[in-house]
Amino acid sequence: MLDKERIPRHVAIIMDGNGRWATKHGVPRLAGHNAGMKAMKEIVKRSHELGVQHLTVYAFSTENWKRSAEEVSGIFGLLVTYVESELREISENNVRIRIMGDTDALPEKALKAVNKAINNTAGNTGLQFNIALNYGGREEIRRAAAELAEEAKAGRIDPDAITDEDISRRLFTGEDHAGCGDPDVIIRTSGEERLSNFLLWQCAYSEFVFVDDLWPDFTPERYEEALEIYQNRNRRYGGRTPEKKG
């Protein structure tokens, strides 16, 4: 049973399987994304109820632009719809929305919706809901490295003195941005067992939980089961578990 006293501080989720869910049910791919959006709403709600401090979801990767123009347009259309229909409830629940990724390339309506969500929830102090949008882990690390290189070139930082913390601070999860730090657990749905360019730096000591459910079928109850699996792990961070005496 899930221990409500040991809820992870930061949960990250790779929401995978919308397309396969659509194929399974004989409906258009966009219907799968719509079902996935509804599932996301329920997981945000349950995260808030459980006391998760940071929830990060992989909504749209830098590689997703390779999909058909119709599907990409539909995904961003759903994003706009989500903000318009859910923003009031999100605000009432004291949830703060942050975006992780390069928003400059987003369609105008989606960008306006994103900025509205960020601005309207900026003062909230409950669950921080991070949406990874036009996000890629390698690109994130490259941007942080480029920023450090510029600072070193300008003489503001010694290249030989750069630490892991200096890099972490400049990532989207770092103090200079979302401020959520590394995830305690990364959950991926649909049975796939890979990161797909998600939080590559931050996952160094994260626990991974892979579940077979397609994302639209991932219920709050299955979410709690995944968190229970996490709680049963022994996180050693590279050290050893102390031996029992006697």
For the annotated catalytic residues, the residue numbers are 16, 64
Select from 206, 123, 138 the least CA-distant residue to 172.
Answer: 138
Q: CA-to-CA distance for 203 and 224, rounded, in angstroms?
A: 21
What tokens does 132 get?
A: 């990874």
**DSSP state, 241?**
P
Are the beta carbons of 103 and 133 closer than 8 angstroms? yes
What tokens does 236 get?
A: 């050693």
Q: CA-to-CA distance for 167 and 200, rounded, in angstroms?
A: 13
**At CA 107, angle to CA 82 and CA 179, rounded to 5?**
65
Helix ranges restricted to H, 97-233:
108-120, 137-153, 164-170, 220-231
SS3 label, residue 243: coil
- Burial state string for 198-210 with b = 16 or more CB within 10 A and e = fewer than 16: bbebbbeebbbbb
Q: What is the dihedral of CA 90, 195, 30, 173, to 10 degrees?
A: 30
